[in-house]
Structure 1
């Protein structure tokens, strides 16, 4: 089976099929995660979506890093930088632009936004800036002890943010009362327990499909970037 997959992976049609299947798996996972998120309500719904997206992205990163190709050790760093750049500039900017066209005026909670940006800034600094200024090892690298500290500190910071978001200051991440009255989606009927259960099962299946196809497709992605003469950082 492994030999067959290896032979087929070199064919363009098979790579295209895997890419389409991977894209479909991602869309399916996001859809079923949204159903579960609507059932659980905010802010837990946002947490469900975040976990699913994280699983998808981490599976792609790990599959490429395990390939052992030259430069694969930098994929995680490049992916974090790309995510911060795309989300902060592309996704948020696009949401503001489209939201302005449709609603003319939008509202948001300063408290929740400020806390989320503070955590994101701290995490990005740990991962992207600190390795450059440390002098314990040559090059922009952490030593093992520094890497352990950065990992533990980042995880602790994220846990503190989750506690802040879901328990201690949950209201900061919920729509204001006047916005809830005006938002028809806020009062939309929640899915039944049966539909939610089906979505949970299909979500797990979708994530398994995404992880599997990501592992099969990662060599083709790296080969395509190399053939195009693009820098290896574009893989991240």
Structure 2
């Protein structure tokens, strides 16, 4: 492609969307928005989330696996926690269970929807879905244990009424969760790093993938591109938090007017 027709990186949607979302935040902050304004800010919010994940993937590709997965996990966690905290601050007592509802929805969507769809698409493309059983098993065991500790056990405790931990129980759950996740990170990045590296996928013809095109063959981003993505990732995350605060009253009002339970807000975030 000639220089004259080459697309400028500055006009790429992953660059423009975070900037536009940040501008939308400036103009919407502290104001009561009309319906059209809420729709525009919500659109900017969705675009900022997608842009943030894109730039996190660029950084992840630069640092390589398994550290790239940690970058993606941190970016997505920041987005989700920011949305939860923003909605909880504005929602009062009725959003007390929002964090639990969101985490439960995220676990269900990930383990049943995303994993199932990945296996299905992988089998369609390559006849056999290839994955690393050791790494996948360790990740699934960690998620299942953390979900049981934080989502299931509060239902059976009796120190406080309702599905709620006492202060001592909450402290234990927090320390145990941090210890377990720290152990998983050590296994992923040091002890058994090979368990979490991409597996070469062989298609029916023996080539990488059904079409000979694998993700591992993608060109590695340059240090300059990775630094730019880090900056744009931070811009996108700021825009996500701010825009979420601007549209959160409308989300909660819409769920209430539709007669849906508050847990639906958690599903929307997830």
TM-score tier, shorter chain, comes to over 0.9
Aligned match of 1:217: 247
Deviations 1:66-98 (A, max 9, x none): 114332110001011101111111111111222
* Cα gap change, 1:211 to 1:6, in 2 (>3 Å): closer
Q: Normalising by the residue count of structure 2, what TM-score does the alignment of the two structures yield?
A: 0.81
Aligned match of 2:154: 131
Instruction: Quote how far apart the aligned CAs of 1:178 are.
Output: 7.1
Q: Indicate if the aligned counterparts of 1:8 and 1:14 stay in contact, CA closer than 8 A.
A: no
Q: What is the alpha-carbon root mean square deviation over aligned residues?
A: 2.0
- Please, which moves more after superposition, 118-127 or 92-101? 92-101
Residue in structure 2 matching 1:198, options 211, 228, 239: 228
Q: Indicate if the aligned counterparts of 1:26 and 1:210 stay in contact, CA closer than 8 A.
A: yes
Q: Distance in 2 between matches of 1:186 and 1:201?
A: 25
Instruction: Quote how far apart the aligned CAs of 1:184 are.
Output: 3.8
- Which structure has greater helix proportion? 1
Instruction: Quote how far apart the aligned CAs of 1:177 are.
Output: 5.9
Alignment of 1:1-236 (within 5 A): 5=29, 7-9=31-33, 11-176=34-199, 182=208, 184-236=214-266
- For structure 1, list consecutive stretches of 5 or more residues without a partner in the other structure: none
Q: Normalising by the residue count of structure 1, what TM-score does the alignment of the two structures yield?
A: 0.93
Aligned length: 234
- For structure 2, list consecutive stretches of 5 or more residues without a partner in the other structure: 1-24
Q: Distance in 2 between matches of 1:80 and 1:158?
A: 16
